[in-house]
Chain A
Amino acid sequence: MRAIGALVRKDLLLELRTKETVPAMALFALVAYVLFHFALHRNALEGDLAAGVLWVTVLLAAVLGVNRLFVAEHEQGGFDGFLLAPVDRTAMLVAKVAALLCFLVVVELIAVPAFFLLLLGPGAGPAFPELLAILALADIGLAVVGTLAAGLAVQTRARDLIGPLVTLPLLVPVVIAAARSTAPLFSVPAGGTEAKWLAVLGLYDLVFVLLAYAVFDFLLED
C-alpha cells in the first residue's frame, strides 16, 4: 500500500504540474460532442444512438490518457527507479489503474454534463444511480485494459501507434456492454438497464484484472 500510495501521489502531482493528459482528454470529449451536435443535426438524441455517442467519445478520450500513462516512466527513468525499490511490481499496475481512473472521473465530470447539454433531449433524463454504476464499471474496464495495453505499447518504438491499436479492440466489449446498458436510460420514456449487460461489464473487468495481475510483471522485465 505504501508503494501504491507513493506512485499514485507522484502521478497525480505530475499531472497537476504538466496538465498534459486530463485537459487533452476533456477537450477532446467536448469537441467531439460539439461536432456530433452539429453533424447529426438533430434537436436531441435518445436510446441507442445517444448511448453510442456517449461511450465512443469516452473511449476515444480514454485512449489519449492511455497513450500518456507510462511516458514519464519511459522517458525519465521512472521504470528503473521503481524497479530498484524493494516493492512488489504489481504496485505499479494498481497505481497506474488508480491514476487512470482518477483521470477518467475528472474527464467525465466535465464531459457527461456537456453531453446532456448538447445532445440529450429534455425528456431523456437518465436515472442517475444506474448511470453512475455503469460509468464506474466501464471506467474500471477502461482503466485496467488501458493500463495493460499502455504497458505493452510503451516498450515499443511506435508506441503512439501501437497503443490505440492494442487498446481499441480490447475495449470493444466494454463499449458494447456500456452502451447497451445505458441505452434504456436514454430512451423516451426512460427504462431500466438490463442486468445482463452490467454483468457482462463486471465479468469483463474481473477477467482483465486477473489477466493484468498475471502478466504485468513480465511487461516490466528487460
Chain B
Amino acid sequence: MAAAPAIELRGLTRAFGERIALAEVSLSLPAGATLVVFGPNGAGKTTLLRVLATLLRPTAGEASVLGAALPGRGHLVRGRVGFLGHEALLYRELTGRENLRYHARLHGVALHRVDDLLARVDMAARADEPLRTLSRGMIQRLAVCRAVLHDPELLLLDEPRSHLDPAAAGLVEPLIGRASGRARVVASHDPAGGLAEADLVLGLRAGRVAFVAPPEDVDAARIGALYR
C-alpha cells in the first residue's frame, strides 16, 4: 500500500482579519519528498509553514499533515514536525545546551541526543555560553538542533541556511538536507539551490498560488517573475 502523503492541501486559506495571507493553496506532497516554496517577502511562505506546523489555524479549506486533519487533529502532528522559522525559538539568557535540554524534556527525548547534535553542528565547545553572546550563525546551528532534536518525520524550514557560512551550511546539511530522508517544506529565495533539492515547487505571490509544478517544469526565469 502506498504511503499516505506527507501533506495534502485543498483550498487552504488563511486570513489575518481582512487581509488574506494565503489563498486557495492546493497540493499533495508524497512522504519523504521535498516541497520548495518560492515567493517574495509577504507572499505567504511563512504563513504556510506556520499553518502546517499547527501554529496557525486555517481560515478555510482543508489541510492534512502526516495523515492528520488540521486543526482538529493537530495534536497528532505536534512532536512529528520540526519547525525552523525566522526566530530560533531559544531563550537568549540560557545556554545552547540548556535550551536544547529544555526542548528535549518537552519532547521526551533522551538528553544524550543533545550532546550528539551539538557535536554534529560543531557547537559543543560553545554550548555552555548564553545565546546572547553567540553570533547569528551559531544560534541558527542551535536552532537546527532544536528542530531535529525529536527526529521529526516532516521538516518545515523557512530559509534554513540564512546566516550560515558555507562550512556551517555543510554541517547542518545531513540534518535538514535531502540526505535526512525526511519530508520537507523549504521556503527559499535561492532558485538554483531550491530547484536542486525540490520534488515539487510552489510559487506564491501576494498569498496566491502562481504555480505548483515539478522542478523540471520550473526555471529561474519563472521564479524570477514572482519577484517582479
Contacts and interface: CB of A to CB of B under 8 A. Distances in A.
B75 interface: yes
A198 B109 CA distance: 43
B11 interface: no
Contacts of B94: 10, 13-14, 17
B55 A85 contact: no
Interface size class of A (residues with CB under 8 A): 20 to 34
Interface in B185-219: none
B102 A222 contact: no
Contacts of B85: 80
Contacts of B177: none
B176 to A, nearest CB: 15
B159 interface: no
A80 B98 CA distance: 17
A84 B81 contact: yes
A10 B102 CA distance: 7
Given A2-B105, A5-B105, A84 B53 contact: yes
A3 interface: yes
B113 interface: no
Contacts of B81: 84
B115 interface: no
A6 B106 contact: yes
A102 to B, nearest CB: 17
A14 B91 contact: yes
Interface in B82-108: 83, 85, 87-94, 98, 102-103, 105-108
Given A2-B108, A3-B106, A5-B105, A83 B78 contact: yes
A129 interface: no
Interface string A2-42: 11011101100110011000000000000000000000000
A130 to B, nearest CB: 39
A14 B99 CA distance: 11
B54 interface: yes
Contacts of B20: none
A82 B78 contact: no
A77 B143 CA distance: 12
B147 to A, nearest CB: 9
Contacts of B107: 85-86
Contacts of B83: 80, 84
Given A13-B98, A86-B78, A222 B56 contact: yes
Interface residues of B, number: 29
A113 interface: no
Nearest to B101: A6
A221 B54 CA distance: 10
Nearest to A88: B75
Most buried by A among B56, B75, B93: B93
Contacts of B75: 86
B126 interface: no
A17 B89 contact: no
Interface string A86-104: 1100000000000000000
Interface string B111-129: 0000000000000000000
A82 B91 contact: no
A8 B83 CA distance: 23
B57 interface: yes
B102 A6 contact: yes
24 contacts: A2-B105, A3-B105, A5-B105, A7-B106, A9-B102, A9-B105, A10-B102, A14-B94, A17-B93, A76-B89, A76-B91, A77-B88, A77-B89, A80-B55, A80-B85, A81-B103, A81-B106, A83-B55, A83-B78, A84-B53, A84-B83, A85-B78, A85-B79, A85-B103
Given A18-B93, A80-B89, 17 more contacts: A2-B105, A2-B106, A3-B105, A10-B94, A13-B98, A76-B90, A80-B55, A80-B83, A81-B146, A83-B54, A84-B78, A84-B79, A84-B83, A86-B80, A87-B106, A221-B57, A222-B57
